[in-house]
Amino acid sequence: MSPADRSDAPIYARLVEERGDVPAEARRTAEQTQLELERTMNFNGMRSYGYS
């Protein structure tokens, strides 16, 4: 059950309806950014290019 579906938080549910689930969107963006950064900053392959 998502937080927007909870009947004890009608104001939050209405905000999610109007504006979208901003916290969930921010979390997804942060996870994507972290994965992209990990791929970009991956130095494991540098040894194959003669770097120590």
11-40 confidence digits (pLDDT tens): 989 989 999 999 999 999 999 999 999 888
pLDDT of 43 above 70 = no
Overall domain count for the chain: 1
pLDDT of 44 above 90 = no
Taking the CA atoms of 31, 33, 34 and 40 in sequence, report the sign of the dihedral they define: positive
**Structural domain for 12, as ranges:** 3-49
Output the pLDDT for position 24. Answer: 94
Smallest Cα–Cα separation from 27: which of 43, 3, 11?
Answer: 3
25/29 Cα distance (integer angstroms) = 6
pTM of the model: 0.54
